[in-house]
């Protein structure tokens, strides 16, 4: 009629808990990897080469950083103009 055995006992609970944690860890890591893969296809990676031609992304990044420092008041207008001219000169 009914089976009154203990089955796996505590070891069954431990195995199920370990596999549950592994399942969720694999699922979360997989989702994070998928999101990074899908969003990384549209972004330039830091180690990738600059695009060819005038005005590469590195030049624009340097000019943006310089403009941010000027906006925060870290450098004055003369320093900004001098450094901006230097960046334009080395393109």
pLDDT tens for 31-69 read: 999 999 898 755 555 555 555 454 566 667 888 898 999
The overall longest dimension of the chain from CA atoms, in Å, is 93
Residues whose CB falls within 8 Å of the CB of residue 87, separated by 6 or more in sequence, listed in order: 59, 62, 63, 66
Instruction: Tell me the H-state helices in 1-91.
Output: 10-40, 57-72, 77-89
Give CA–CA dist 76/82, Å, rounded. 10
- Enter the pTM of the model: 0.41
Q: How far is CA 53 from its chain centroid?
A: 27
Q: Which residue has the higher pLDDT, 53 or 4?
A: 4
The whole-number average pLDDT for the span 5-31 is 89
């Amino acid at each position: 009629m009914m089976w009154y055995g203990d089955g796996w006992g505590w070891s069954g609970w431990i195995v199920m808990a370990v596999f549950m944690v592994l399942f969720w860890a694999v699922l979360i890591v997989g989702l994070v990897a998928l999101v990074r893969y899908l969003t990384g296809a549209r972004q330039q990676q830091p180690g990738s080469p600059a695009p060819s031609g005038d005005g590469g992304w590195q030049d624009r990044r340097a000019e943006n950083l310089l403009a941010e420092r000027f906006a925060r008041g870290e450098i004055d207008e003369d320093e900004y103009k001098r450094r901006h001219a230097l960046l334009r000169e080395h393109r």
